[in-house]
Structure 1
Amino acid sequence: MLTIGGGLLVTMLMFAVAIPSGSTSAAGRQAAVSPEEEVVRSGSPLVVVGTAGLRWEDVSSGRAPTLRSLTAEDAGTAGDSLPTGSASRCTTGGWLALSAGGLAEVTDTRSDDGAWLCPDVTVADGQVSGWDDLVGLQDGSTYQADLGLLGDTLDGAGACTTAIGPGAAIALARADGSVDRYLPLDDARDDGAGALAAALAECPVSVIDAGDVTAVGTQTGAPEDAGAQAGTQADAQADASDTDPAEEQESPTPEEEAAEAAAREATRNAAVLAVDEVVADVIDAVPASTTVLVVDVANVPGTRPALGVTAVRPGVVDPDGARFLTSASTRTDGVVRLLDVPSTVLSAVGAEVPSTIEDTPLTYGSPRPTDAATAADELTDLTALDHVRRGAYIWFVDVPLYAGLALAGLCLALGRWGPWGRSSERLRSRGRRLAEAAALVLTSLSAAAFLVSLTSWWRFDAPGWALAASTVGMTAAVAGLGALAPRRPVWAAPAIVTGLTFVVLTIDGVIGTPLNRASPLGSAPTFGARFYGFGNPTFSVYAVAAVVVAAALAQWLVARQRRRTAALVVAVIGVVAMLVDVGPTYGADLGGGLVLAPTFAVLVLAASGARLTFRRFFVVGTAGVLAVAAVGVLDWLRPPAERSHLGRFVAQVIDGEAWDTLLRKAGYALRSVLGGVPVWLTLVVLVLAALLLFAPRRFTPRWFTRTEDEWPLLRPAVLAIWVMAVAGSFVNDFGVRIAMIALIPAVPVLTMAALRAAATAGTAAQGSASASASADTTAPAESGRAEATPAESEEERDR
């Protein structure tokens, strides 16, 4: 069965070479980004129509007939990733993000019931009300948003602008809150298309606030404020307990709940239609040469993020027909960011993009389905895919972490204080084998988390169950390969599983990360942050796998007196890992590359037999960091639209803007310490590992000494993982969670090696005891003693 499982896995890997994976369809796949394919040509008039809460299911269902008609034609379409975190507490946060070209704080005040109090923005005499308060709100924020940057840049380029509606005024306001030209939406539409056409013809750039549909069914509070919400609910329950039962209101009947839900749906449908009618009026009011960009700016506060509607009615007919939209920031067909809009607007007037605004204008990607419903459904599926993956995240992170630590603790406790005796050796052996199997499964889960993408689990009617079944199958296949390894050396099985993980992720990085894009541990565009390359969880798994397989291969070579070759092999694996993780077209992970350099410095020195000193560690680690910096500079030398995170960071360093980025990421990393029980357990493990590594004479347990005897490079490997985990926690905004996810494969690997070392030691001890007993039995005959009586023989057997 194990051989069949391994063969099945190999077959699937070969099959995957011919069939692309990683998305539900063309939408979601890696996109080639070309500056020549920008949706707006310099000098072309542009009208941006902003909505709030509009989703692609509104288009596919026909609730937004104008947008459905555009999708049926040659409009470029995509789902846009919207502000999250504190920037999403109010829909105003989306308009502020356009103004600053980056995320911005929108409120820090709550009502008595725990809901965020959103600013009520109005415009009077060309001035946005409450603007100074919004600007002051950014001073104490980690975002440090520069409100009015878009408006000032347009003004500096000599481009006049027209804002219609309060949200549009926020987006185009200058740093002092003033607006070039402003009209209320109702006034612009009072006289039909004529008044609107006249208003939109005055300036090359116009922005319209088409309306907000998020108010229907909005939940109070944001997801990160679950604690506050729980407190509010507890207070409500306490108040209810003091209420006279006679005064309590009866719970609504199912019929009443259904009627209320139908009323909410009808209200929202009416709001969607009203927004869609504004889009129709704009299209009717402007000439065909004007590019119309419809973009959603906000999620419904308090709900899970979703990709908003983005559609472009091109001012010039696209000869390639209907296509998805993309950008250099996402490199994903059908996925853009709201933060790509400011650079798109500036490109339309030929203005230079400020350094604090990412120069990633919207571009055309690959062809999309011409059928409106099909195209809209594909874009809707991107959000559904991310929601399933986020829902499964706990089963790939928290649960394996707890399971791995519990298994290690149980093995340690039973090994030390368990009720084992000579008569229970068989029970001990069975328990050890079960624990080994569990450790092997937990180690294999990390590889399975990416290999499940080969099964296209999201295509099934029940994607959650399909993901679960695929995970079980892939984990069994990987564990089956690991189980084929001999019991000695103890590193054989860990080497097979981590080696497979390393190879799979290396290939995935080189070919564009299709497995990572659909993995539960991969990046989720709906939730923002990273859109391509290796995300933080992927890096942690990849780094641990690289270290373990390098330590195993080096140990095999060292045992054959080939230390130079061993050091060379470790160096090669480290260089490959760094190139794949850092490469702009591969992993594009700057922080990970900086961490891998000192990580492999430890292992290279240990494999070569050199004594690990701070000076040697510093020299080797610095060389690796300089190599990563060189890759970043080479990436920076490419055109801005082709740069990855590395090149853009180098540009920030040159422009003097990098310090703000570093401070913001440091703030995220520090706040990760408050991440709850998993993070706190991780900190405890890191401290215990530090005691073992840096005070070995006092804190090295017997089980580790026994395992180290079988695998001498184990201690350097553990030190390398510790360096990676600690350094990664400091330099990455993911914080301690970098170390937390590293423990998921690392702890069961160490547990598996320790159990196999214990079994080897037990077998050796048993063999030694048998040899001793045999010598004791033959010695009396050789010395002339009488042969043991049957009673004595029985007593010896009992003993």
Structure 2
Amino acid sequence: MSRRRRNPQQRFARAVVYGIILLTVLGMILAMISASSAASTQDTAGRAPVIVLGTRDLTWGGLREIAGSSSSAAGDAGSLLDAASSGEPVNVVVRSANPATCPADGWLTLGAGSRARALPPGAASTPGAPACLDAPDAASALAASRGSGYEARPGALATALAKAGAPATAIGDAASLALATEGGAATTSDSLKELLASGPSGLTLVDTAAGVTTAEQRVTALARAREAVLAAMPRARVVIVSVADAESPGPQIGILPAGTTSPRGRDGGLLVGDSTHQAGLIQLTDLAPTILAALTGSPHPGGASARMTGSALALPDSPPPAASAEPGATDPAGSRAVEELADGALRARASHLTTIPSILLLVAASGALALTAALALRGAPRPRALIALRGASLAASCLPLAALLSGVIPWWRAGASADEPSWAAAAAALAAILFIGGALAGLVALATRAVGRPRGEVALVAGLTSLAWLLDAALGAPLAFNGALGMDAVVAGRFYGMSNTGFAIAAAALIIAIAALRALSPPGRGWALGLVALMGGGALALDGAPWLGADLGGALTLAPVLVVLAVALAAPELGRRGRLRAGLGAVAGMLVVGTVLAGLDLARPADRRTHLGRFAAGLADGSAWGTLERKAGALIAPFLSSALALTALMAGLVTVVGAAWWGAREHRAWREGRSAYRWLTTGRAAPRWVGSALVGLGVLVVVETLLNDSGPSMAVISAATAAPLILRALLAARPGQRPA
């Protein structure tokens, strides 16, 4: 049956109907998109404004000192302390791409959400260059930041806010740098009073320290600006922050609105910084994503903030009204919080002051012990000398563990004024290390003799040292952070996990612990491989896991060391082919461990990644080369800018060359049978595990020097950790007898 053909009029009517339906559907879709966009704009415009009141060189200790003085600014300082009691007080790490952050550096860093710099290094101290307080023009600031090596994108905050339809205004030349972009200048206003009269929305940045010089004047200007903002706009979310630490590098004050929360919650009444993992401590780079989240609902809209390295906190939608306190009334909880923050800032500065003396103590103790032993053992010494060497080597081997445990003693408060430490703190830290080290040596000697295993001293000390440093890193570094050996909030290289110094100590102690326990275990290659797999695998997990130690360089270093150590313990006598296979296995182990850890970190959200994840992501987009260049520059920069550091480097090189020459000479004399140390092999043979440990230590020193930005200093610290333990193992004979 044939289908009836439609006439042209019917086909035309059908097409018209379909067209009307299609246009109706398109109209509905466009209306929905328009409504969604309008709702988004209305939502952005309807959010309570964020007003950042910035100052410079103001700490909690300094603020408390002014509040307790008889100056005219005492009342204003008291009002800021009251604001801290009713808000969320924090310490702010303002470290920029320069070691000391000038106001222009700080404002540019705030607007970039990553460490930037507006002035080239040392510009403030160069004759004819602008002073630190001078704000450079936007073009010069952006050019200086591009060469910082941190891959910062100045103006990322302003760009993201503009895309979201949120206005941003700056008051002050330095504050305007935070909103400066490559595409144009920032929107500025002449005065805060005029801006408040117009009812600003979105973001307002105010440099309250512009035109003032003394700390008292800065406090007064900041307090008056806060009062003016709250009087004109009670719903405004006011953020108070000191953005620069050029006068004395260290944590600065920060007051966030009441009700601010962190993904990591609170600890002891203080907000835990998401980027620092520390209670009451955030970074200046955290403010950009925090402001974006407060004004747009997302800390990372689009790709404008892809270079932001900070982590967002959650500001309240509308802060509660400020409670009116009676004159002289104080909040005990708020006072305790401020006191704890002031103590934390003091500890950070004291740690920065004490790091070099503490490291020198470990190195000097180890070096003096080695030199004394080399002289005393040249020819058969008296029994009393051997006993003294045994005791000294045991005490020196306990010092790296004592340096970590010294954090339980508040040595940083010795001789302090406000939040400025004195050299008395460094002396107190060294005294604490020596006291704890001596106590540990006595306890270890008593414990090993009580169980009838005096030769287990080396394994016990090395095992405890490695375990303590690894567990502390896995738990967030409560002892190592702002401790005697660095990892402080002034340098701000790392806030949690395993530091380079900690790894150098833990890895050296781990190698000796595994080798020494191998000597105490039953014979058989299985025991050797099992010890390396169990202890080494656990150490790799604690050190390298992104949510524990988060130490990429350490994990990549430890993997080949463990492979070589396993081969040395299980099969000490290998031919050339066996050593080649061991070397290839070490390289393969390093690559596998690095790939696995990088993959685990890349699987996490972008704002939760550690240094490892960000570096792995940088390898994909090409930005990692800037990081490598910056780290390479950081390796040589101290020796180019400091005569003392260059002198120390030359002295170290001379010492290493001299020791190598002396060792080669003694080794040749030993093989020829004319060495003065030949008597050391009489009676009982030297422990075989010592040779395996030395092989592992040699690989550790070489690899950590090549893979870490502070490799040479790590090598020295590893050697200083291992030398007393090795010497104690060689002197393991009973008191009064010749050593093995």
| TM-score normalized with structure 1 length | 0.72
Cα 1:282–1:740, aligned 2, differ >3 Å: closer, same or farther? Answer: farther
The amino acid across from 1:312 in the alignment is L
1:50 to 51, 54, 65: 54
Q: Kindly indicate whether residue 490 of structure 2 is the aligned counterpart of residue 526 of structure 1.
A: yes
Q: Kindly indicate whether residue 567 of structure 2 is the aligned counterpart of residue 605 of structure 1.
A: yes
For residues 85-484 of structure 1, the aligned pairs below 5 Å read 86=98, 88=100, 90-100=102-112, 101-104=114-117, 106-108=119-121, 117-118=130-131, 130-138=137-145, 140-143=147-150, 145-179=152-186, 181-184=187-190, 187-189=191-193, 195-199=194-198, 201=200, 203-211=201-209, 215-216=213-214, 268-288=215-235, 290-301=236-247, 303=248, 305-314=249-258, 324-348=270-294, 349=296, 350=298, 351-352=301-302, 354-362=305-313, 371-416=333-378, 428-455=382-409, 464=425, 467=429, 470-484=432-446
Question: Which has the higher mean CA deviation after the structures are superposed, 272-281 or 621-630?
Answer: 621-630
- The DSSP-based 3-state class of the residue aligned with 2:188 is strand
> Would the aligned equivalents of 2:545 and 2:551 in 1 still touch at CA under 8 Å?
yes
What is the CA–CA distance in structure 1 between the aligned matches of 2:388 and 2:146, rounded to whole Å? 57
Question: Which has the higher mean CA deviation after the structures are superposed, 83-92 or 677-686?
Answer: 677-686
For residues 436-585 of structure 1, the aligned pairs below 5 Å read 436-455=390-409, 464=425, 467=429, 470-484=432-446, 485=448, 492-517=456-481, 519-557=483-521, 560-585=522-547
* Structure 2 unaligned blocks of 5 or more: 1-43, 68-73, 317-329, 417-423
What is the CA–CA distance in structure 2 between the aligned matches of 1:434 and 1:678, rounded to whole Å? 30
- The DSSP-based 3-state class of the residue aligned with 2:55 is strand
What is the CA–CA distance in structure 2 between the aligned matches of 1:654 and 1:212, rounded to whole Å? 42
Cα 1:42–1:756, aligned 2, differ >3 Å: closer, same or farther? Answer: farther
What is the CA–CA distance in structure 2 between the aligned matches of 1:107 and 1:662, rounded to whole Å? 19
Cα 1:88–1:456, aligned 2, differ >3 Å: closer, same or farther? Answer: closer
Deviations along 1:180-222, one digit per CA (max 9) or x if unpaired, are x2113xx332xxxxx3324552x41221111159944xxxxxx
What is the CA–CA distance in structure 2 between the aligned matches of 1:688 and 1:551, rounded to whole Å? 28
Cα 1:85–1:108, aligned 2, differ >3 Å: closer, same or farther? Answer: closer
Deviations along 1:636-667, one digit per CA (max 9) or x if unpaired, are 32234443333333333344322221221122
1:661 to 612, 627, 632: 627
The amino acid across from 1:166 in the alignment is D
Percent of residue pairs bearing the same amino acid type? 27
Deviations along 1:756-777, one digit per CA (max 9) or x if unpaired, are 479998479xxxxxxxxxxxxx
1:729 to 692, 700, 705: 705
Q: Kindly indicate whether residue 612 of structure 2 is the aligned counterpart of residue 646 of structure 1.
A: yes
Deviations along 1:516-561, one digit per CA (max 9) or x if unpaired, are 235312521233111111211111111111111011112333xx42
The amino acid across from 2:561 in the alignment is T
Deviations along 1:672-691, one digit per CA (max 9) or x if unpaired, are 66634554455566667888
What is the CA–CA distance in structure 2 between the aligned matches of 1:321 and 1:556, rounded to whole Å? 43
Q: Which has the higher contact order (CA 8 A, sep 6+)?
A: 1
The amino acid across from 2:307 in the alignment is T
What is the CA–CA distance in structure 1 between the aligned matches of 2:595 and 2:665, rounded to whole Å? 34
The amino acid across from 1:638 in the alignment is R
> Would the aligned equivalents of 1:555 and 1:713 in 2 still touch at CA under 8 Å?
yes
Residue in structure 2 matched with residue 793 of structure 1 by the alignment? none
Cα 1:461–1:679, aligned 2, differ >3 Å: closer, same or farther? Answer: closer
Cα 1:704–1:58, aligned 2, differ >3 Å: closer, same or farther? Answer: farther
Residue in structure 2 matched with residue 70 of structure 1 by the alignment? 83
Cα 1:572–1:320, aligned 2, differ >3 Å: closer, same or farther? Answer: closer
Pairwise CA distance, 1:461 = 8.6
The amino acid across from 1:546 in the alignment is L
Pairwise CA distance, 1:292 = 1.6
> Would the aligned equivalents of 1:588 and 1:644 in 2 still touch at CA under 8 Å?
yes
- The DSSP-based 3-state class of the residue aligned with 1:526 is coil
What is the CA–CA distance in structure 1 between the aligned matches of 2:403 and 2:377, rounded to whole Å? 31
Cα 1:521–1:95, aligned 2, differ >3 Å: closer, same or farther? Answer: same
Cα 1:591–1:46, aligned 2, differ >3 Å: closer, same or farther? Answer: same
- The DSSP-based 3-state class of the residue aligned with 1:208 is strand
* Structure 1 unaligned blocks of 5 or more: 1-39, 123-128, 190-194, 217-267, 765-799
- The DSSP-based 3-state class of the residue aligned with 2:547 is coil
> Would the aligned equivalents of 1:369 and 1:375 in 2 still touch at CA under 8 Å?
no
Pairwise CA distance, 1:173 = 0.9
1:83 to 91, 95, 101: 95
Deviations along 1:577-632, one digit per CA (max 9) or x if unpaired, are 11111122321111111111111111011111163523322224423442343133
The amino acid across from 1:328 in the alignment is D
- The DSSP-based 3-state class of the residue aligned with 1:79 is strand
Question: Which has the higher mean CA deviation after the structures are superposed, 535-544 or 579-588?
Answer: 579-588
| TM-score normalized with structure 2 length | 0.77
What is the CA–CA distance in structure 2 between the aligned matches of 1:364 and 1:693, rounded to whole Å? 63
The amino acid across from 1:326 in the alignment is V
> Would the aligned equivalents of 2:731 and 2:739 in 1 still touch at CA under 8 Å?
no
Deviations along 1:346-380, one digit per CA (max 9) or x if unpaired, are 32323246332115113589xx9854332211111
What is the CA–CA distance in structure 1 between the aligned matches of 2:123 and 2:352, rounded to whole Å? 28
- The DSSP-based 3-state class of the residue aligned with 2:377 is helix
What is the CA–CA distance in structure 1 between the aligned matches of 2:110 and 2:634, rounded to whole Å? 23
What is the CA–CA distance in structure 1 between the aligned matches of 2:540 and 2:733, rounded to whole Å? 32
Q: In angstroms, what is the RMSD of aligned CA positions?
A: 3.9
Deviations along 1:382-408, one digit per CA (max 9) or x if unpaired, are 111123333332342112212321321
- The DSSP-based 3-state class of the residue aligned with 2:92 is strand
- The DSSP-based 3-state class of the residue aligned with 1:585 is coil
Pairwise CA distance, 1:153 = 3.4
Cα 1:317–1:696, aligned 2, differ >3 Å: closer, same or farther? Answer: closer
What is the CA–CA distance in structure 1 between the aligned matches of 2:607 and 2:205, rounded to whole Å? 24
- Count of residues in correspondence between the two structures: 643
What is the CA–CA distance in structure 1 between the aligned matches of 2:678 and 2:548, rounded to whole Å? 37
